[in-house]
């Protein structure tokens, strides 16, 4: 299957597997999907339910330092809890920017999972928030999934009763919709890169 590819999934409840268990979480299902494609993925699930971008920033350094192997890719998925708390988009941007800067400094590629503000927060908030992810992806030359929940947010049958978190089937749908983005974001294996 080739060399192990080390990926760190750094996010909130959408990665932690809220309501479905870590074994059915997005990182677990993504790892299985990548292996089915012949990519020997080893994904560490660093998702913590309830994490805002501020909480993510506070634990990013030590989470990276605690990894036995430097990740070849970090999938960064935060911002949903900032929205649930109506935190100012400028704070969300500042925190995500600081995380992207740290990952760039460490030379770790990023796949940024975008979020979108719901209309009830108003057009000004929505416009300011929704621009964050594409602008940061451009600033740091990172790969981007413009809206992580795009494939399921209009599908109540794929969302838990809390109207926020995907079901196990919803997570499968998310994996199917984003696995190509992950493959594209993975750098070539070290051996290949060295040989070219």
Say if CB 116 and CB 151 are below 8 A apart.
no
Pairing of β 73-77 and β 41-47: unpaired
pLDDT, the chain, mean? 92
Tens of pLDDT, residues 37-95: 999 999 999 999 999 999 999 999 999 999 999 999 999 999 999 999 999 999 999 99
Name the pairing type of β-strands 143-145 and 73-77: unpaired
Does 17 score more than 80 pLDDT?
A: yes
Question: What's this model's pTM, rounded to 2 decimal places?
Answer: 0.94
- Domain 5-187 matching CATH 3.40.50.1110: the answer reads yes
The catalytic residues are 13, 162, 165
Distance (Å, whole) CA 163 – CA 166: 8
Going from N- to C-terminal start, the domains of the chain cover: 5-187
180-194 pLDDT per residue, tens: 999 999 998 875 444
pLDDT digits (tens, 9 = 90+) for 105-147: 999 999 999 999 999 999 999 999 999 999 999 999 999 999 9
């Amino acid at each position: 299957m080739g060399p192990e590819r080390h990926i760190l999934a750094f996010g909130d409840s959408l990665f932690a597997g809220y309501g479905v268990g870590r074994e059915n979480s997005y990182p677990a299902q993504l790892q299985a999907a990548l292996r089915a494609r012949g990519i020997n993925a080893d994904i560490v699930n660093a998702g913590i339910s309830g994490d805002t971008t501020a909480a993510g920033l506070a634990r990013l350094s030590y989470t990276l330092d605690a990894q036995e192997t430097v990740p070849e890719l970090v999938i960064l998925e935060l911002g949903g809890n900032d929205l649930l708390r109506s935190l100012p988009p400028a704070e969300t941007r500042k925190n995500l920017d600081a995380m992207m800067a740290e990952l760039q400094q460490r030379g770790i590629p990023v796949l940024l999972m975008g979020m979108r503000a719901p209309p009830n927060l108003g057009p000004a908030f929505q416009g300011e928030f929704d621009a964050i992810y594409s602008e940061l992806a451009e600033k740091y030359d990172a790969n981007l999934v413009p809206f992580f929940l795009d494939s399921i947010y209009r599908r109540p049958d794929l969302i838990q009763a809390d109207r926020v978190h995907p079901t196990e089937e919803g997570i499968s749908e998310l994996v199917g919709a984003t696995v190509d983005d992950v493959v594209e974001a993975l750098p070539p294996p070290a051996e290949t890169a060295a040989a070219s």
